A = this chain, B = another copy of it.
């Protein structure tokens, strides 16, 4: 083995034609997890069902009372805050749908070798915390600064680079009111679970998961754009390895359905009985409100509008419920849904391929068979 830390990494690569999921991808799939899609029934996802992705280890924080958050860099007055200090600021609760930027990656051809998500890397929670803009105002952040850099306590190596997990937001986003970025201390009314950032994390409504820095230790105001690994190397939309690419930012529109009927254990094919089947699901976009959802039961040959239910209680950063009543007759079906947002963005039927496997919001199909027998032989 190597003599340098970075030698534990291998270069990014694409899977070969027909190459199955490898041991490295499986190790990630076994520790991270998606939302079991039947849990789309819950308006607010119970913590253990919400998707989780951690790049390195989940930090062990036995004493949250000892945690400190610093706010420094281009500020008038650096801050060094305890959890109790944070709770003395005004608290806001926002219902937010979070999605991993890599959701849909394992459906791509060729497949970028990384965390092999299908489509389940999503969840919705009520996040409570201090608006970041209040902390930046308290510290007196330089209004001419470029970026605000967030550092988590999670530490590891990635593509040869040893690092604490770090991401940045432009100052205008970090101090924005809409969306309002939170330094969150609670999820669904309880302290953050370890895997969701105990005791502190960032919540940036409408942005993909890489922006939602967990185990937040420091907020640093910078007068130059941040060029750390997770900003400039990872999380870029690239077709070739040598182009700089575009940054991954906000969540593209997507609709998913609660798989109807009941599953086969291994194939996950769904079985429904003939008759009325209510298809229920959720739709979201981080770019603009969802404006319509369509449903197809024939793999996209025909589409019908679903009934989009009202935005509940002003929860505009959360997924929106929809349903469609399907009159099922015996046969085999490919059932899917397609969201469109108020900006006119709609889910494609073909994959959105890029080398990192980010933002692939192509419509996903659920195999359903409708059979009349009450019991198998």
Contact = CB atoms under 8 A, between A and B. Distances in A.
Given A193-B46, A266-B10, A118 B26 contact: yes
A264 B9 contact: yes
Interface string A247-259: 0000000000001
Interface in A9-35: 9-10, 19-22, 24-34
Interface residues on A, range: 35 or more
Contacts of A262: 56-57, 155-157
B266 A24 contact: yes
B157 A265 contact: yes
A195 B49 contact: yes
Nearest to A271: B5
Interface stretch (A109-117, A215-223, A296-304, A309-317): A109-117
A48 B195 contact: yes
A305 interface: no
A48 B52 contact: yes
Interface in A312-346: 330-332
Interface stretch (A127-135, A137-145, A367-375): A367-375
A228 interface: no
A6 interface: yes
A4 B259 contact: no
Copies in the complex: 2
Interface stretch (A36-44, A70-78, A173-181): A36-44
A27 B156 contact: no
A263 interface: yes
A193 B48 contact: yes
Q: In the complex, which of the residues A2, A19, A26 has the most CB atoms of chain B within 10 Å of its own CB atom? A: A26
Contact of A26 (B6, B7, B29, B55): B29
A144 to B, nearest CB: 31
Interface stretch (A87-95, A158-166, A203-211, A285-293): A158-166
A36 B267 CA distance: 26
Which of A31, A157, A266: most chain B Cβ within 10 A? A266
Contact of A2 (B37, B265, B371): B371
B47 A4 contact: no
Contact of A21 (B21, B31, B162, B264): B21
Contact of A375 (B5, B31, B56, B372): B5
A308 interface: no
A239 interface: no
B376 A5 contact: yes
Contact of A267 (B8, B46, B55, B259): B8
Nearest to A12: B266
18 contacts: A1-B369, A8-B264, A8-B271, A10-B266, A20-B22, A26-B29, A26-B118, A27-B118, A27-B268, A30-B33, A30-B116, A31-B36, A33-B52, A36-B57, A46-B193, A56-B263, A156-B262, A156-B263
Interface of A: 1-10, 19-22, 24-34, 36-39, 41-42, 46-50, 52, 54-58, 60, 106, 113-114, 116-118, 120, 155-162, 193-196, 259, 262-269, 271, 330-332, 369, 371-373, 375-377
Given A33-B33, A156-B265, 20 more contacts: A1-B332, A1-B369, A4-B371, A5-B369, A5-B376, A9-B267, A10-B266, A20-B21, A20-B22, A24-B267, A26-B116, A27-B268, A30-B33, A30-B116, A30-B120, A31-B34, A36-B195, A42-B60, A49-B58, A162-B375
